[in-house]
Amino acid sequence: MQPSELLDLVKAASGLTSDYQVMKKFGFSQTGVSHWRINRSYPKNSVLIQFAEILHMNAGLLMMYSLEWREKDEAAKAQISQLINAIHHAKFDDSFIGESV
């Protein structure tokens, strides 16, 4: 998943139809949202936590995606991607969603 895909998920879950509405609803800058749309920059962890709540998913998984987005080394990026895929395909009960350490 890329930041633009996450933005689309949040839009849909929030009943919004445009990036502008996301910007207004959550108080983000137009530049920030535009950069997420083109995968040029990435939401901060505090934003990922907020998005995880909206999407009813574990924030740690979104933070793993964030690590992947930011990683420059291709070998390290591949390892992070494998871990994300393993977590994504694992079966968890509902207690995992929204859990914090």
- Domain of residue 81: give its range: 3-92
Among 100, 14, 10, smallest CA distance to 58 is for 100
- Res. 90: pLDDT tops 90: no
* 98 part of a folded domain: no
- Provide CB contacts within 8 A for 33, sequence distance 6+: 7, 19, 20, 22, 23
Q: What is the count of structural domains for the chain?
A: 1
pLDDT in tens, 11-21: 999 999 999 99
* 21 part of a folded domain: yes
d(CA 22, CA 97): 23
* 99 part of a folded domain: no
- Res. 61: pLDDT tops 50: yes
At 97, the pLDDT band (50, 70, 90 cuts) reads low
The answer to pTM > 0.85 is: no
d(CA 28, CA 33): 7
